[in-house]
Structure 1
Amino acid sequence: MVLDVAALRSHFPSLDHGLAFFDGPGGTQTPRPVGEAIVATMTGPISNRGTISTTERTADRVVTEFRAAYADLLGVPAGGIVHGRSATQLTYDFSRHLARTWQPGDEIVVSRLDHDANVRPWIQAAEQAGVTVRWIELDGASLDLDTYRPGERTRLVAVTAASNVLGTKPPLPEIAERARAAGALVWVDGVHYAAHDLVDVDALGADFFVCSPYKFFGPHCGVLAASPALLETLRPDKLVPSTNAVPERFEFGTLPYEQLAGATAAVDFLAAVASVSARPAPASVSARAVSRPAPAAGGAGGSPAGPGSRRDRLAASFAAIHEHELALRARLEEGLRSLGDAITVHSTAPDRTPTTLITLEGRDAREAQIHLAGLGVLAPAGSFYAYEPFRALKLTDPALRVGLAPYNTPEEIDRFLTGLAGFLR
């Protein structure tokens, strides 16, 4: 299946400005249907959740549809979907919930591959509980599983599904199997992964999985997925009058309904991508297919499984996206090799996302970012909160990160390569 990039791009107003966006790992551009869903919810008749008035029922429907959409996206029951302000906030909250049962002598495991949001909350919680921290070390751009030995006192293993700087996708099922054998829980940071692969929480071996809709066309927020039965075992501090039901007991205060509606629209937009990718299809039909996504399904388990379900449509869309991004990554890597020894590519793991981290011999990556921005090519420089990978690999801060998204084109890859070559000259 070939991704119809022109039809896809027609739904992103920001792409009309002539900029080439290679900053997807920091947050993608937003399609029109997502913005429209946010505006319609904010400006329509709505109040706090309830069952009496139309406005109360509208708010309740927005929440129900949000949980159903992310149940379909992540492959868990809708009752296991928790909304948060960000993945970082959710990780901090749940590190405190989980640490209540930890005792001195217990251990947790974190990795050198991770964004600091999946390292520091756990280390700080461990310090407060008197718990030992163990590390999975790096071997080049990949995790060294010889340094990973969970034991009977290991309570939790926190690891990324994909590095936000190197793109590395570690072997999560193997990591999770070892953790389960030791009786430990597995917390997976899927913020970067969920933008490029269809998530199956059980297949990955995750007990908890967090992601951020703004990495895949949605608004700025975080989503946690877990088994409702597992969530039932956790007792967060909460206000006395607030509900103790799962998953609501973890969502403090009134939910931002407009944000939930936008996040749901992002999932529906993703599910419609495949419908514009089956060629030959007229461009006008392709555009209508994305503009009119199927309505979100309600119920406790998301939409029904089976042919034509939202989960099936998401699988087809991610297959098309993966094929497109893989071709773009190959074009980028070939072009970088042609630029010679002045460039070092650090994204070398066999299994990785279309995100490439490079450093420039004798040159400041921030200056390269500025030069490229002047050409309308947005490729950011920095360490991107990947504190541990930069330390472990002795990487120069800043480095240049080239992150691809489904709306990128081969012509944009060439614009980047031409601009970078000009900077090096």
Structure 2
Amino acid sequence: MVFDIATIRAAYPALTDGYAYLDGAAGTQTPTAVIDAIAQAYRAGFGNVTGAFPASRRAELIVRECRQAVADLVGGVPEGVVLGQNMTTLTYRFSQALAATWRPGDEIVLSRLDHDANVRPWVQAAARAGAAVRWAEIDAASGELPADQYGALVGERTRLVAVTAASNALGTRPDVPAIAARAHAVGALVYVDGVHATPHGPTDVAALGADFYATSAYKWSGPHIGAVIAAPSLLETLRPDKLAPSPDAVPGRFETGTSPFGDLAGVTAAVEHLAGLDPAATGTRRARLLTSLAAAEAYELEHFAALREGLEKMDGVTIYGRPARHTATVYFNVAGHTPRQVAEYLAERRVNVWSGHNYAWEATGVLGVRDTGGAVRAGLVHYNDRSDVDRLLDAVAQLAG
């Protein structure tokens, strides 16, 4: 397709402020359709679920539609979609539920590549259970997470392998299917952090081999809602702590308190928005999502090639990692300037980027930048255009030169 970037950008009111939003890895802007869906939910009125009146039934419909939308996005089933405040909160909840089955001598395998939300909950749960933690290491030069190392890391006592589908700092896309296959060969479960991966291309949880797949809607044009997707039969085997009268059926047994129903309506609208990125996409919503997100990925990587090439040509700019498969995300430093100074310089020129460790705590330690301010992160999503790239490159060139 010819990616209609003008139409896509027009859907995002925030983009009219004159800034280049290259901070999508920390959270995307919101299209009008999502804003309107949230507002309409509040205008129509809703009550809590299980009530005898229409406003309660409206809330129940919002929840059902949200579960179906998330399932369509990642290739799951709505009965396996657990909704919550964010990925971190949900991962803590699942770590506690899963660790209840671990015993001293059991092992879990984590990766240095991951966001700390897919590291620390498991480290802490393992410590309470007396389980050992084994680490998959990244190659500092390339930013890769070699899959072949899992042959030595995964064994008969492995209970869980947690790994990211894409690094939020380096953009690296590990070979998750190969890692999952090794884990499943010994009966271990696989928990995949898909927060950074989901916005940047089609997702198929079955193809990944993910027993649990976590994602956050605010990374793909939705509100601040997280979700973990799993097979309902697997969820049935877990018994999280919950209030006595709260639902016991899955997926509700994992959801604490009253849901933010208006935001859930926004999640559904965000999925519909993604499904329509390619106007030529046809078929079911799932089919349209696969087509549209493939088109978005190709568009992002095309412009990212220019971004990375431009940075590589600059004296004094250090780029961390060069993975073979990656999202449109770059992590770099400029000699003579702290990452925060670079971010502030760019912000003065209306270019939004992030600086610091970006919660890639283990990875920035391996790279040797965690204790010196981390680095600068810039990334493209489907609403960025070439002018955003050029503005970043011009500003960094001025600073580096």
TM-score clears 0.5: yes
CA distance in 1, matches of 2:339, 2:49: 49
Equivalent position of 1:34 in the other structure: 34
Shift of 1:398: 2.8
Shift of 1:347: 3.2
Look up the equivalent residue of 1:387 and give its one-letter code.
Answer: W
CA deviations 1:44-99 (Å, max 9, x no partner) are: 22111236321111111000100110110011111000001010001000000000
Equivalent position of 1:401 in the other structure: 377
CA distance in 2, matches of 1:388, 1:269: 34
Determine which of 191, 194, 198 is the counterpart of 1:190: 194
CA distance in 2, matches of 1:367, 1:242: 49
Equivalent position of 2:398 in the other structure: 422
* 8 Å contact kept, 1:155–1:184: yes
Please say if 1:144 is aligned against 2:146.
yes
CA deviations 1:189-213 (Å, max 9, x no partner) are: 0000001021110100000000000
Q: How many residues are aligned here?
A: 395
Equivalent position of 1:339 in the other structure: 314
Shift of 1:364: 1.3
Equivalent position of 2:227 in the other structure: 223
CA distance in 2, matches of 1:220, 1:108: 29
* 8 Å contact kept, 2:317–2:400: no
Look up the equivalent residue of 1:145 and give its one-letter code.
Answer: A
Equivalent position of 1:131 in the other structure: 131
Equivalent position of 1:298 in the other structure: none
CA deviations 1:316-352 (Å, max 9, x no partner) are: 1112101110111111012112213x11111300000
Instruction: Provide the TM-score with structure 1 as the length reference.
Output: 0.91
> RMSD of the alignment, in Å?
1.2
Secondary structure (helix, strand or coil) at the match of 2:203 reads: coil
* 8 Å contact kept, 1:390–1:397: no
CA 1:228/1:6 → structure 2, altered by over 3 Å: closer, same or farther? same
* 8 Å contact kept, 1:2–1:324: no
CA deviations 1:6-58 (Å, max 9, x no partner) are: 00011111111110001000000110111111111123221112363211111
* 8 Å contact kept, 1:155–1:183: yes
Look up the equivalent residue of 2:343 and give its one-letter code.
Answer: Q
In the TM superposition, 1:22-421 aligns within 5 A as 22-50=22-50, 52-140=52-140, 141-148=143-150, 149-275=153-279, 308-340=283-315, 342-395=316-369, 396-421=372-397
* 8 Å contact kept, 1:154–1:184: yes
Look up the equivalent residue of 1:143 and give its one-letter code.
Answer: L
In the TM superposition, 1:1-40 aligns within 5 A as 1-40=1-40
CA deviations 1:287-330 (Å, max 9, x no partner) are: xxxxxxxxxxxxxxxxxxxx610001101111210111011111
Query: Which ranges in structure 1 are unaligned for 5 or more consecutive residues?
Result: 279-306
CA deviations 1:95-122 (Å, max 9, x no partner) are: 0000001000000000000011100000
Secondary structure (helix, strand or coil) at the match of 1:206 reads: coil
CA distance in 2, matches of 1:347, 1:10: 34
* 8 Å contact kept, 2:147–2:174: no
CA distance in 2, matches of 1:327, 1:2: 12
Shift of 1:229: 0.4
* 8 Å contact kept, 1:118–1:158: yes
CA distance in 2, matches of 1:398, 1:168: 17
Shift of 1:393: 1.8
Question: Percent identity at matched positions?
Answer: 49
CA 1:34/1:81 → structure 2, altered by over 3 Å: closer, same or farther? same
